[in-house]
A and B are shown apart, each in its own frame.
Chain A
Amino acid sequence: MANENVSVWTSIPFWRRSAAWVTGFATILLIWLTFDTIGQISMGTDADLKNGVTKRVPAPTVINYKIGYEMSKKRGHEVPTIGEKQPFFGKEWSPKEAANLLHLGKLTSQAKNCMDCHTLLGNGAYYAPDLTKAWLDPAWNSMIPMIGGMIGKELTREEAMAEFLQHPSRYPTHARKMPDLGITAREAKGLVAFLKHMSSIDTNGFPRNFSKTVDQFKAGGTNAH
């Protein structure tokens, strides 16, 4: 085998060199692509939002805007849309306040280990629904009045979500319930900001047809049930 004169195909040095070159080339390509990707997924700024500059991951102040998820004919899938201003917990958040709130929310999402039941951007565990577009979930249409009715208050979407996160087992939707994780009112606000921000990330159309078919289904557009 070691006899290089017989054939290059049975030569250890040939395969060793090839392995080194291929590995090196793949690594360099990965590092180069990483530089490009890091640039594209760095968070945008508040000025980008004000000037209508589209970023794959917008600034934390995106929580001050209405967010949608609409089919783009050009791209062939849904993309997040950022609409007019909308108060979040009854106010507009300054860039600093919004960044602090998002920081709290992201930290809480890790400290409470959300990812070992739910998926975030589709990654995590498969015991509970994906949270990528949870902010936009049509299930809130019925959850908001339900939660509001139980505590005797008219709630906005963010207030209902925060209330749910603090006492999830009080508002069960199914036999499989979310446990009480000791989330405080402050942490819940942060988590809702984190979820709203995540819903504004351009995920190349994942999840596909989000909410569309549920509405069609409710309108009797399908005989699935």
Chain B
Amino acid sequence: MLTSIKTNSFEGNKGKELGMMYFRVAIILFGAQLLMGLIAAIQFIVPGFLFETFDFSVARMVHINALVVWMLYAMIGSVYFMLTDETEHEGVAIGLGKLAFWVLTAAVTVVVLVFIFVQVGSGTEASIWFINEGREYLEAPRWADIGIVVVVLIFYFNVFATYMKGKKTGIMTVMVANLMALAGLYLAGMFFTDNISMDQYWWWWVIHLWVEATWEVFVGTLAAYALIKIIGAKREVVEMWLWIEVLMLFGSGILGLGHHYFWIGTPEYWWEIGALFSALEPVPLIAMFVHVLYDWGKEQGIAKAQGQTGTVANNTPALSWIVTNAFGNFLGAGIWGFFHTLPQVNIYTHGSQFTAAHGHLAFFGAYATILIGMFYMGVQYAYGVERLKSTFKSKMAIFLITFGVVGMTVALTIAGYEQVLVERAELGAGWNAFFVAQNLPWYVQAQLWRAIMGVVTFAGFVFLVLDLLTIGKEAKEAQA
């Protein structure tokens, strides 16, 4: 895959070529995310590891920022990838899009280098502007925020103008509307206030309305496109489901924002609003799950009735990841989120390892999976492969990564359970209560298992990279 752009012709499809450029950076950042996660996991077990040289806060900051940025890269790449297929238009300003890609990549590199080597600044506005904004997930300094906005505007102009000139499918309509909300929400995180409650109120507008609303709709849109491409699902069926998903995702997710407003200084009425709407958030995830599996079964059945043998999918590794997405989204975002979404539970679980468990399975299940599926679609296209079949490496990658992330989630859930019962319920939070819980043998054991499962995940990532590098070439040779 990394060499595919040079060695393969894109039949003049510049949008897909640009999409692949985004995919390549996304994979590198994915690797960086996992390495930083391993450092942070080791620091939980060996507290002196890299102390005062590369502290937990630095590893964790790069861990979560690499996560967000690789996903945004893969998302932008996916949009450029599907743009020409959906609109039947070549794209209005792909050259400008390429320039934006290089600007963004240069900016991300500088931000990461500053995070790693400068780490923290003094208590001045200059630090917020040039080093680190210090707000979880939105640590990027303000200059980079503005740069991101400019780049995203170029990207959005490209998508919107192409959509206006080309064919207006239901999938593309949802995409264009959703991307506008997604990009606009970023602005809510770009200001400074002395009032920590106000700070977190708007901070959640970005974080929650991304990952529990607009990103989820994005996934629905991507799944719709991929199902048509991979198993030949009927557009009418897929687009009807997509509108139902939008209805349910936004209907629950927008006011589900309330479940972050239980304890940050905001009024009590958020208890009821947050509880009700966030409890409904798993419903669309069930719908998405049913939709993917139902369509797959239906198309497979039709193919069989027509006397075809073998799978209906023209890209089995991509379909495997998309089916994993259907399971993972429901389990990670739906079930693990519902676990602690009611205020009666959340008053004890808020800010514990439960949150970390949910975060790991949700980001993986809802987003990483489908974006990896898109990487495989990219490889298939770049090499002009008609039917891309899973290799041993594809299977090892999906097995090890999924097993590793589920393992980490289970370990963190157990750690969270210990922490909640001992630190919160028994000892009433506080400094000493925190450390009593952190030093419990069962808690320590769970953190050890988390680190082991992190290594398993990383091994799966190595298989994934090797597979993406070789699968296209091998399939093309076999085809010829």
Contacts and interface: CB of A to CB of B under 8 A. Distances in A.
Contacts of A116: 56-58, 60-61, 134, 136, 139
Given A113-B119, A117-B60, A130-B429, 6 more contacts: A110-B127, A111-B122, A115-B134, A116-B57, A204-B266, A224-B427
A210 B429 contact: yes
Given A106-B194, A217-B427, A33 B273 contact: yes
Most chain B CB neighbours (cut-off 10 Å) among A179, A181, A210: A179
Contacts of B251: 22-23, 26
Interface residues of A, number: 97
Interface stretch (B71-79, B83-91, B197-205, B397-405): B197-205
Contacts of A1: 234, 236-237, 240
Contact of A41 (B135, B195, B350): B195
Given A41-B197, A123-B351, A210 B121 contact: no
A205 B424 CA distance: 13
Interface in A76-119: 77, 99, 102-117, 119
A162 B448 CA distance: 34
Interface string B121-132: 111110110011
B266 to A, nearest CB: 5
Interface of A: 1-2, 10-12, 15-16, 18-19, 22-23, 26-27, 29-30, 33-34, 36-38, 40-43, 56-57, 60, 77, 99, 102-117, 119-130, 132-134, 137-139, 169, 173-177, 179-182, 184, 186-187, 190, 194, 198, 201-214, 217, 222, 224-225
Nearest to B266: A37
B21 interface: no
B469 interface: no
B409 interface: no
B338 interface: no
Q: Which of A37, A104, A110, A115 has the most CB of B within 10 A?
A: A110
Interface in B265-320: 265-271, 273
A177 B136 contact: no
B267 A27 contact: no
Closest 9 pairs between A and B when the two form their complex, measured CB to CB: A110-B134, A108-B123, A206-B263, A122-B351, A111-B127, A207-B429, A213-B428, A15-B243, A209-B428
B478 interface: no
Given A10-B240, A120-B196, A121-B265, A175 B47 contact: yes
B139 A113 contact: yes
A138 B429 CA distance: 11
Interface string B352-372: 110110000000000000000
Interface of B: 40, 43-44, 47-48, 51-52, 55-58, 60-61, 119-125, 127-128, 131-136, 139, 170, 192-201, 203, 234, 236-237, 239-240, 243-244, 246-247, 250-251, 254-255, 257, 260-271, 273, 347-348, 350-353, 355-356, 422, 424, 426-436, 438-439
Given A111-B123, A208-B347, A209-B429, A177 B56 contact: no
Given A29-B255, A139-B431, A217-B427, A123 B264 contact: yes
B232 to A, nearest CB: 16
Nearest to A181: B120
Contacts of A26: 250-251, 254-255
Given A122-B351, A184-B122, A40 B266 contact: yes
B121 A111 contact: yes
Given A15-B244, A174-B435, A113 B429 contact: no
Contacts of A175: 47-48
Contacts of A198: 196
A34 B255 CA distance: 11
Contacts of B269: 33
24 contacts: A16-B243, A27-B254, A33-B269, A37-B261, A56-B266, A57-B265, A104-B123, A106-B193, A110-B127, A111-B134, A113-B119, A113-B132, A115-B135, A122-B351, A123-B260, A124-B351, A127-B57, A132-B263, A133-B429, A190-B123, A201-B197, A208-B424, A211-B428, A222-B426
Contacts of A36: 267
Nearest to A180: B52
